Amino acid sequence: MAKQSFTTGQILTAAQVLSLQQTAMLGGAASAKTASYTLVAADAGAAISMSNASATTITVNTALFAAGDTVQITNLGAGVCTITAGTATVNTSASLALAQYESGTLDFTSTSAAIFIKGAGAAATSGGMTSIATGSLSSNSTVISSITGGYVNLMLFVKDYYASAGDYLNIRFNGDTSTTHMWTTTNTRVTSAVNNAGASGFDSNDGAEGGTGSDSNNFLQMTIFDYTNTNTMKSGDWNWVYNSETGGIRCCSGGIAWKNATPAAITSITLRTAGATTWLGGTYELYGVK
Tell me, yes or no, whether 261 lies in a domain: yes
Structural domain count, the chain:
2
Q: Which residues of 214-243 are buried (b: 16+ CB within 10 A; e: fewer)?
A: ebbebebbbbbebbbeeeeebbbebebebb
94, 167: one domain: no
Whether residue 184 lies inside any domain: the answer is yes
If asked whether residues 90 and 138 sit together in one domain, one would say no
Give 59's strand partners.
38, 84
What is the per-residue pLDDT across 210-224, written as a single tens digit (0 to 9) for each? 444 445 678 889 999
Cross-strand pairs, 89: 113
User: Has residue 236 been placed in a domain?
Assistant: yes
135 and 162 assigned to the same domain:
yes
Query: Is residue 4 in a domain?
Result: no
* In-domain check, residue 124: no
The answer on 180 and 96 residing in a single domain is no
Residue-wise pLDDT tens digits, 132-158: 888 998 888 999 988 888 789 999 999
CA-based end-to-end distance of the chain:
35
Which amino acid does the sequence have at 122? A
Do 138 and 109 belong to one domain? no
Regarding whether 261 and 134 lie in a shared domain, the answer is yes
Tell me which of 73, 97, 118 is where a domain ends: 118
Predicted confidence at residue 192, as pLDDT, reads 45
What are the phi and psi torsion angles at 223 (to 5°)?
-110, 130
- What is the reported pLDDT for 27? 54
Confidence (pLDDT) at 196: 61
Q: What's the pLDDT score for residue 208?
A: 39
- pLDDT at residue 206, rounded to an integer: 43
Q: CA distances (Å), 253 to each of 168, 175, 219, 221, 230, in order?
A: 16, 23, 12, 9, 27
43 with 110, same domain: the answer is yes
**Ranges in the chain, pLDDT < 70:** 1-4, 18-29, 120-127, 165-166, 185-200, 204-216, 243-248
Distance, in Å, from the CA atom of 60 to the CA atom of 69, rounded to the nearest integer, reads 13
pLDDT (0 to 100) of residue 207: 38
Strands 103-108 and 70-75: antiparallel
Q: What is the CATH number of the domain that holds 185?
A: 2.60.120
pLDDT of residue 122: 52
Phi, psi (deg, nearest 5) at residue 107: -115, 110
Which residues span the domain enclosing 240? 129-289
Q: Is residue 7 part of a domain?
A: no
What element of type H or E holds 17? helix 14-24
Domain boundary among 60, 87, 118: 118
* 27 located within any domain: yes
The residue from 96, 118, 140 where one domain ends is 118
Question: Residue 164: phi, psi to the nearest 5?
Answer: -70, 160
* DSSP conformation class of 19: H
Name 15's Cβ contacts closer than 8 Å, sequence gap at least 6. none
Q: Is residue 2 part of a domain?
A: no
| 82 & 136 share domain | no
Does one domain contain both 39 and 84? yes
Q: Is 25 exposed, middle or buried (0-12, 13-18, 19+ CB in 10 A)?
A: exposed
Looking at the fold, whether 140 and 275 belong to one and the same domain comes out as yes
85 and 160 both lie in a single domain: no
CA distance 96 to 115: 10
Same domain, 141 and 277: yes
